[in-house]
Structure 1
Amino acid sequence: MPARSVRLLMLAAAALVLVVALGIRALSDGALEQHSGTALYASMVYAGVLFLWPRLGPLPAGAVAVGFCWLVEFFQLTGIPAALSARSLLARLALGVQFDPTDLAWYPVGVVPLVALHWLLRARSRAARGASSLPDRKPSTERS
């Protein structure tokens, strides 16, 4: 798939994930809101990684996405994200407020299904390209 198509698809995917996350936030509270928000944040990061590097494979993209999420989570231990979040809703959404070790486990929950889907789609695409690149063979009418 061309890089431009991947980028457009990732923008659409990130927008869809955002709508789902905001919908859950509007309709629910407590643990469902917290944990689904964490997993969906990681899903958006995965889409962002593929937007930036559209040719990246599923495993490297997943590793970068989860690694980034973990870095942001540990960055919260510094207090800088909390200070920025007090001044900006965007900073609050992007960086969070306080460290929660449970989030470290929820980030892969948002990324692993996308890695699996990416892997499956990539394999199907390669199989389709491989089948279409085979020369057309007509049945032989000659007898040996």
Structure 2
Amino acid sequence: MLVTGLVVSRGDDLVADLAGGALYAALVHLAVLLVAPRTRPTTAAGTALGVCVVVELAQLTDVPAAVATAWPPAAYVLGTTFVATDLAAYAAGVGVVTVVDVLAVDVLARRRTGRSATVRAEPPRGPRT
């Protein structure tokens, strides 16, 4: 994902900008899961999206640009210019990771209980009368 993000960051069109935003948000989401692996998918998604939105809104101030001037690699994390379409890209990136996370949790739960992904377990039956 990191290599893809660096390749996309070399583009200068809207597609590259949106793809970069989605990848950035996916990376933030994965970082949340790395820091707190037992976090529920929706909580991790909300946290990641919140971080992305705060970083994007911070770009309405001069702080991220000043930090990036002092230490250029910070521009990859903080950005420098507010772009409203990035907010949609962040939602898309977080959404994709959330879907994958939910599916992975489901697959792992099925493996743990020994159930097949295609066969549903029978509900428990009570005593026959």
Shorter-normalised TM range: 0.7 to 0.9
Asked whether the equivalents of residues 81 and 96 of structure 1 are also in contact (C-alpha less than 8 Å), the reply is yes
Unmatched segments (≥5 aa) in structure 2:
116-129
CA RMSD of aligned residues (A): 1.4
For 1:1-144, what aligned pairs fall within 5 Å after superposition?
A: 17-26=1-10, 28-131=11-114
**Residue deviations 1:20-74, cap 9 Å, x none?**
1112334x33112211111110011011101110111111111100010001111
Structure with the greater relative contact order (CA < 8 A, sep ≥ 6): 1 or 2?
A: 2
User: For 1:121, what is the secondary structure of its paired residue?
Assistant: helix
1:45 and 1:65 in contact (8 A); partners too: yes
**Partner Cα distance (1:25, 1:92) in 2:** 11
Q: Which one has a larger percent helix, Structure 1 or Structure 2? A: 1
Q: What is the aligned-residue identity percentage?
A: 35
SS of structure 2 residue aligned to 1:78: coil
1:84-124 CA-to-partner distances (Å, cap 9, x unmatched) read 11222221111000211111111011110110111011011
Matched residue count: 115
Task: Indicate the larger mover: 43-52 or 29-38.
Answer: 29-38
Q: Secondary structure at the match of 2:9?
A: helix
Q: Following the alignment from structure 1 to structure 2, what is the Cα–Cα distance between the partners of residues 98 and 61? A: 26
**Residue ranges of structure 1 left out of the alignment (5+ in a row):** 1-16, 133-144
Residues 39 and 111, structure 1, Cα contact 8 Å, conserved in 2 = yes
- The one-letter amino acid of 2:8's match is I
The separation in 1 between residues aligned to 2:12 and 2:60, in whole angstroms, is: 24
Asked if structure 2 preserves the Cα contact closer than 8 Å seen for 1:58 and 1:119, the reply is: yes
